[in-house]
Amino acid sequence: MDIIFYHPTFDTHYWLKALSAALPGARVREWKRGDNQPADYALVWHPPVEMLQGRELKAVFALGAGVDSILNKLKAHPDMLADSIPLFRLEDTGMGEQMQEYAVSQVLHWFRRFDDYQALKQQARWEPLADYQREDFTVGILGAGVLGSKVAEALAPWGFPLRCWSRTRKAYPGVESFAGTDELSSFLQGTRVLINLLPNTGETVGIINSTLLNQLADNSYVMNLARGVHLVEADLLKALESGKLKGAMLDVYSKEPLPAESPLWAHPRVAMTPHVAAVTRPAEAVSYIAHTITQLEKGEPVTGRVDRQRGY
């Protein structure tokens, strides 16, 4: 079995060694330009077109939860990857736990009004504030896949009203489920904290815009943990300036790295992190990939395959 690996920033030596140990007998190599030798599996992140083009692979694994970079390249180069070749994404591999930590910590930060206290601190003002009430602090999760369900699970013990919205209805304990475009407005009404964990598809690009934001509860908050293209940043800033939104926590942006001239940097009600909400944990990712390849070789059922039409 031959496996080719490409990632522009990962420690390639670690991955080759770990994959070889997890798949005894497999020949694992770093792909470099000009390498057109046979391969059975490809492990990639933002792969050059020539790496995959024309190869008869058993499967391709994206080294992250999202596959939009591959699907976008396929639009421009349809022959890069035959339709018959399965494309897999990392389903969790530690990302769910990281998203839980990020989302819970920020929801509690807003609920306990630490953002307000930080603003008062900047003014040297000592002013105890009235508590928010849990029943008025509904948390809505856009996207109810693996990561969305993990975030809902972590928030449940804190007693906030929880709801989710996705393409199809879910049945998560203690979470009110909304599905489809017809129920999006109902989902937004009364939502105080909006957490975005949607996949990047043609239908979700620009979904967090003025029309959507204006349907949230007054003095609401937005947390974007999915993709920058979901959020119209200019509309977010307008909603903050109008007072409709009270704050935002952003981990992803329309351009990355975020340009120095972006007004997001200076806005006092926008907190930011540099796309680190959930990163690939190598040991867990290697374990998942090795297990999935082993199952594929045996002809047994696997999970994590991407529906290219849906985009996830």
How far is residue 92's CA from residue 97's CA, in Å, rounded to a whole number?
A: 8
Catalytic residue chosen out of the listed positions 275, 281, 305, 308: 275
Q: Specify whether the CB–CB gap between 1 and 57 falls below 8 A.
A: no
Q: Which of 279, 248, 140 is nearest to 197 (CA)?
A: 140
Tell me which residue has tokens 């947390």. 223
Q: Please confirm, yes or no, whether 275 is among the known catalytic residues.
A: yes
Q: Which residues of 214-253 are buried (b: 16+ CB within 10 A; e: fewer)?
A: ebbbeebbbbbbbbbbbbbbebbbebbeeebbbbbbbbbb
Cis peptide before 257, with omega less than 30 degrees from 0? yes
Catalytic residue chosen out of the listed positions 89, 192, 227, 230: 227
Dihedral angle computed from the Cα positions of residues 239, 254, 94 and 289, in that order, rounded to the nearest 10 degrees:
150
**Lookup: tokens for 169:** 């209805």
CA dihedral sign of residues 250, 255, 256, 261: negative
Catalytic residues, by residue number, are 227, 275
